[in-house]
Amino acid sequence: MHNTISTRHQNLYLEDVALDDIANQFGTPCFVYSKDAIRQNFMAYKEALGDQDHLICYAVKSNSNLAVLQTLADLGAGFDIVSGGELERVLLAGGDASKIVFSGVAKTATDMRRALQVGIHCFNVESETELALLNATAAEQDKVAAVSVRVNPDVDAKTHPYISTGLKENKFGIDINLAPEIYQRAAQMDNISVVGVDCHIGSQITEIKPFIDAMDRLLVLVSELESMGIRLNHIDIGGGLGVRYQNEDTPTVADYMAELLPRLEGRHESLVMEPGRSITANAGVLLMEVQTIKSNGLNNFAIVDAAMNDMLRPALYQAWMDIQPIKHNSSAQEATYDVVGPVCETGDFLGKGRPLAIAEGDRLCLFSAGAYGFVMSSNYNSRPRAPEVMVDGDKTYLIRARETITDLVRGEQLLPTGS
Ligand code: LLP
């Protein structure tokens, strides 16, 4: 677990704030992030990259709260976006448009127009259709769109099938073998300027080798393009570095760069990266309270006030995320619990078979909830979404208020009476 979490007097702290105090102030369920952890995780990339010419584009999808984006923008981060909504968030948070790369399998003309208008760094194009649409959209505005082609290098990232993206059979990118042809066509388009190549092979990758294999394949392509007279400015290796949820032996950013950077030695292209999870996952937790403890003779259930609508990862990917009491309960007996939410689905669990010494009313902390947590939350079962809080030293800031019933029905309309 990240070093911004500590235990003091049998109480869990994030930086210098007791999680119990946050739960008292903001209620549960509640997402809490450490500003310092976000900063440290981002700086680990900067430091590991050293003199290598680079642009770190934080993957907004992993946690898109405005205050999180602002924290990263202030550190000089670029951003990897996948929608018009993410673009507006980055701009609202003070992000620099010229450091944005726009990924995503099928961008709309409306999103392209806005991105061209604000002058993003480049579009990561994933199909010929998209390339043609971008050329036409840029022509309307008399602009030239900077393009990087997302290729599919066909490497096995050895991660969960739902978050593996670089295999031949996935929907992402363009087959690397067909890429030269597409580059040639792109180079001839009036409103396209070819600037880079990119790939993203998957997420929660805990080995370095798949990244290196992907880079080696990209480099073969870059040489081939060069011999065709197409010279690129950057190589984007995507995101995907895994984090420790349980006891995964995850390489550090420094380990990863120590193997990757020698591959780029002496080359003129700059390196673009799109990390998400490795910046935000272990910078955040989800606080929740045990509502009911019950047993069916086979299993003990701790029914908490957070659910799959707040944190979908366990239900969707069978992801294991650590759960601990935020305060020691000396009068509770340890037992094995399935920690589940109140949503009407058997799949609504946060953790199974967890040894915990807890009682009703105790508060728990679900770790590593800073990435793919709030952003994947929903209002299923008409549950207002949880608030988000940022800790900075001994200060706490509410960075998103708990939703109200008014928020829940915003935009809905009753039919006219008598219709
Ligand atoms: N770049 C692109 C084009 C991506 O599709 C992604 C993530 C990233 C960068 C950032 O990858 P990261 O560094 O965060 O691994 N919801 C899943 C993860 C989905 C990842 C989707 N793409 C989960 O909770 O495990």
pLDDT value for 1:
45
Whole-number Å distance, alpha carbon 26 to ligand 1 midpoint, is: 29
d(CA 304, CA 307): 7
Is the distance from CB of 182 to CB of 131 less than 8 angstroms?
Answer: yes
Give me 82's structure tokens: 């996948």
Whether ligand 1 lies within 6 angstroms of the CB of 59 is answered as yes
pLDDT value for 396:
98
Question: Residue 103 CA: which ligand 1 atom is closest?
Answer: 3
Listing DSSP states for 242-308 in one string gives: ---SSS--PPPHHHHHHHHHHHHTT--PEEEE---HHHHGGGEEEEEEEEEEEE-SS-EEEEES--T
Is the distance from CB of 363 to CB of 32 less than 8 angstroms?
Answer: no
What CATH superfamily classification does 96-275 receive?
A: Alanine racemase (3.20.20.10)
Whole-number Å distance, alpha carbon 369 to ligand 1 midpoint, is: 14
What CATH superfamily classification does 5-33+281-409 receive?
A: Lyase, Ornithine Decarboxylase; Chain A, domain 1 (2.40.37.10)
From 79, 203, 316, 320, mutation site for ligand 1 pocket: most ligand atoms within 8 A of C-beta:
203
Give me 270's structure tokens: 């700059």
310 CB-near residues (< 8 Å, 6+ apart): 29, 286, 341, 373, 374, 377, 383, 385, 386
pLDDT value for 173:
85
Instruction: Judge whether 30 counts as a catalytic residue.
Output: no
pLDDT value for 163:
62
Please state the pTM of the whole predicted model: 0.96
Mean pLDDT by 10 residues, the chain (419 residues): 83 98 98 98 98 98 98 98 98 98 94 98 96 98 97 81 64 88 97 97 96 97 97 98 96 98 97 98 98 94 98 97 97 97 96 98 98 98 98 98 98 90
Is the distance from CB of 162 to CB of 317 less than 8 angstroms?
Answer: yes
Alpha carbon separation from 405 to 4, 379, 388, 408, 413 (Å, rounded): 34, 11, 17, 5, 14
Alpha carbon separation from 263 to 242, 257, 259, 354 (Å, rounded): 21, 10, 8, 44
Give yes or no for a cis peptide into 29 (omega within 30° of 0). Answer: yes
Phi, psi (degrees; rounded to nearest 5) at 339: -90, 115
Render pLDDT for 345-365 as a digit per residue (tens, 0 to 9). Answer: 999 999 999 999 999 999 999
Spell out the domain ranges in the chain: 5-33+281-409, 96-275
Catalytic-labelled residue, pool 30, 57, 122, 344: 344
Whole-number Å distance, alpha carbon 202 to ligand 1 midpoint, is: 7
